[in-house]
Structure 1
Amino acid sequence: MTAVLPARPSAAERRAAPSLAAAVRDLDSRRARSRQRMIGASELGECRRRAAYRIARRRPTNTRTGLQAFMGTELHRGVLRALRRQYGGLTEVGLRGEQVRGRCDWWHAPVVEDLKTTSRFGFERVLTRGVPVRHWFQVAVYAWLLRTGQTADRRLPAGDGQDVDGLRIRYLSRDSGEDVVFEADHDPALTAEAIMWLTDVYAAVEDEGVDAVPRDGFGPGVDTMCDWCPFLDLCWGPPVDPETEGEVSRQSRLTVTDEDYVEAVHDYDAWRAAENEAKRHKEYARERLRGRSGPADDLYCEWSGGGLRTQVDKDAAVERLVELGEVLPTRRTRSPQTIRVTRSGTRQDRAAGPA
């Protein structure tokens, strides 16, 4: 019997560059986080529905990782390696309790630190809004697991509590290389709040089922919490098909009854009013600050911009092209959809408000 050898790759196939995206997807699928079924400490305080899916051991439906996230992960590892070599301590410490698990980025006794690499916009958001509560939840639970000896790391003796007195979160901008550090003392009340959040989710799943647990995100395209959720399609349904569903969104699937519609219209009206009022207050404070900058208690104010710059005069450019007899370059784009909500009583000749 003659063996059939596989065809040798052609010269073109040998020269073809391998797909980096495919390599990243394969690597991510092998990581423990992609196969994780227990709630991770980084998910505490974020979305209760996502945590419920973990508890119910539902299979993730959206596990694809982009190159940007991959580069962030690799940068994260490199920074931790540098911190460990320079200052000592342990990095990527495995922790595991009965209901939550995690991997502490850096334990440099007696302080637990979590490192978060972020985009320029995320970095700016932290500088302006401060640390989200869920990030404090994360490091507080790391500290609690270490203090109570709930470790899953060969470098630490199982069952032995560790000395942890401080919490630290370091944000690193992937774009500029800037970092900012926030510190706090170990706070048992903060730890208790995080554990209570988790306990409430467990109870809700047991008593009412996964689908009864509320969402804390507002859906894809509106909330990045949902855009990157591994259970996006399971929670909000599959992507909208324009051929069968038209110009709708996944969120619009929640508006089923007339009562749902009325509630959504009133929500829009209420938040529109709140937005306008907040903008008035912000602009008033802005004008009061003109010409002033510097520290203000725990905040810092500074101005930027205002210089002259040169840019294309589009109207003049169009006029010049017309004078030269040139055909104006154009392109077709879809105009954004607008919504208008008015009071029914403002127009006596209309029986109901506009759609």
Structure 2
Amino acid sequence: MTTDTIADNLGVPVPDLWKGAHRDDRTRPRSRQRLLGPSSIGLCRRRAAYEVHGTWPTDLADNMHAAILGTWLHEGILRVLREQYGAHTELELTDGVILGHADAYWAPGTPHPRATDAQAADMGVVEDVKTKSTRALDVVVRQGPSQAEWFQVHLYAHLLRTGGLKDHPQLPTGEPLPVDVVRLRYVGREYGQVVVHQRAYDEDVTQQALAWAEDVLASPEPEAMPRDLDGPGLSIICDNCPFKTACWNLDQLADDGRAPQTILAENTESITEALRAYADAAEVESAAKKRKAKARKMLDAADAGTYGAFRLSWSGGNPRPPEPDPEAMIRIIEGLGVGIPMRSGGRSSRTIGVSRVPEAG
């Protein structure tokens, strides 16, 4: 819902919160920058190329409520890190090609009101804060940070270490600043869960990120870069990409329900490759389903609890309320001699069949 719901309309104008919030969000410096940002590096090369080439967004959504809530929460988190733990926050960093804003930085030995021995260690630390939905946070718990997230925080460290800090009231600008540790802090938007990953700064990771950026910066046009994600409907990043229509030619798709990914199968070679991928995945999926089904049967009588590196929990199993019995309803209607109301059945969904052609003897 993009407008406020007014329960008691007295004729008094009520400012629309979300319309104003979206206008405010689009005026932020990070929304208007044209240099390549660390948060875009490692994500999708074509999206990054659209940014580098100054392409005007084709998809400015007005339903990014969760993202804006995350921005508001983010601001509060940085205030706490700054006021309670002595962090320098929102540091503008650039080398003239990459422009970013590091969330928090502690110089070696930074004093702060609530210091502990560990926090006061003589090490430079740069931190990036990310707000996540509960589902996305669960992915972080299970799989750890993504490569793009490690790229981002390492690039902040790199820019600090190479004198990329600009216009700061307390820290020396244009001079190398020590960074020994990079940290990612994830905060759940719904319940405030916190997950932290940190590691020693790794120059190899930085070089991989810089090589990725150089590839994009050398592109003659966005279309020269590959799509690194799976596309609308398969990737939440693509679903919310400001260049979604331009990237996937959504305005040229026939109105027949075709998936955007059909543009990837333009010739016999690409169709053959898609068939190979489908057949390979189907075979792996079939074997995995069998293993999963057996394991599920084995666990049917197990109590909830922690077993080694795994936590088992159960949900459901509650009695359901009564529900209509369609077959009994039909028998009653037929017994009354009344015709059963019918509606169009539409079309059945298409079912794909993929099999391997036997090799010629």
TM bin, normalised by shorter chain, reads 0.7 to 0.9
- 2:205 corresponds to which residue? 190
- 1:50 corresponds to which residue? 47
Do residues 235 (structure 1) and 247 (structure 2) align?
yes
- 2:285 corresponds to which residue? 275
- The residue correspondences of 1:325-340 to structure 2 (distance < 5 A) are 337-340=349-352
TM-superposed deviation, 1:77: 0.6
Provide, for residues 150-182 of structure 1, a one-character-per-residue CA deviation record: whole Å limited to 9, x for no partner. 012323322111121111111111112111111
Structure 2 CA distance for partners of 1:168 and 1:295, relative to 1, 3 Å = farther
- For residue 87 of structure 1, what is the amino acid of its counterpart? Y
Structure 2 CA distance for partners of 1:51 and 1:342, relative to 1, 3 Å = closer
Equivalent-residue separation in structure 2 for 1:91 and 1:331 (angstroms): 61
TM-superposed deviation, 1:289: 7.2
* 8 Å CA contact 1:46, 1:216 repeated in 2: yes
Do residues 226 (structure 1) and 223 (structure 2) align?
no
- The residue correspondences of 1:242-281 to structure 2 (distance < 5 A) are 244-281=254-291
TM-superposed deviation, 1:303: 0.7
- For residue 138 of structure 1, what is the amino acid of its counterpart? Q
- 1:303 corresponds to which residue? 312
Equivalent-residue separation in structure 1 for 2:297 and 2:200 (angstroms): 37
Instruction: Indicate the larger mover: 63-72 or 186-195.
Output: 63-72
* 8 Å CA contact 1:165, 1:185 repeated in 2: yes
Q: Tell me which protein shows more helix as a share of its residues.
A: 1
- 1:173 corresponds to which residue? 188
Provide, for residues 54-77 of structure 1, a one-character-per-residue CA deviation record: whole Å limited to 9, x for no partner. 222222222335222111110111
- 2:72 corresponds to which residue? 74
Across the aligned residues of Structure 1 and Structure 2, the Cα RMSD in angstroms comes to 3.2
TM-superposed deviation, 1:268: 2.0
Equivalent-residue separation in structure 2 for 1:80 and 1:132 (angstroms): 22
* 8 Å CA contact 2:275, 2:354 repeated in 1: no
* 8 Å CA contact 1:240, 1:250 repeated in 2: no
TM-superposed deviation, 1:38: 1.2
TM-superposed deviation, 1:344: 7.5
Query: Structure 2 stretches of 5 or more lacking a match?
Result: 1-8, 108-123
- 1:35 corresponds to which residue? 32
- 2:56 corresponds to which residue? 59
Equivalent-residue separation in structure 1 for 2:66 and 2:343 (angstroms): 30
Provide, for residues 272-325 of structure 1, a one-character-per-residue CA deviation record: whole Å limited to 9, x for no partner. 2232234445556667778485475xxx31111156412234355985898799
* 8 Å CA contact 2:306, 2:312 repeated in 1: no
* 8 Å CA contact 1:240, 1:249 repeated in 2: no
Give the TM-score normalised by the residue count of structure 1: 0.80
- 1:26 corresponds to which residue? 23
1:92 alignment partner, SS class: strand
- For residue 51 of structure 1, what is the amino acid of its counterpart? A
2:250 alignment partner, SS class: coil
- 2:172 corresponds to which residue? 157
* 8 Å CA contact 1:240, 1:248 repeated in 2: no
- For residue 238 of structure 1, what is the amino acid of its counterpart? L
Structure 2 CA distance for partners of 1:317 and 1:180, relative to 1, 3 Å = farther
- For residue 105 of structure 2, what is the amino acid of its counterpart? W
* 8 Å CA contact 2:278, 2:354 repeated in 1: no
* 8 Å CA contact 1:42, 1:138 repeated in 2: yes
Provide, for residues 127-150 of structure 1, a one-character-per-residue CA deviation record: whole Å limited to 9, x for no partner. 111111111111111111111110
Structure 2 CA distance for partners of 1:57 and 1:178, relative to 1, 3 Å = same
TM-superposed deviation, 1:83: 2.0
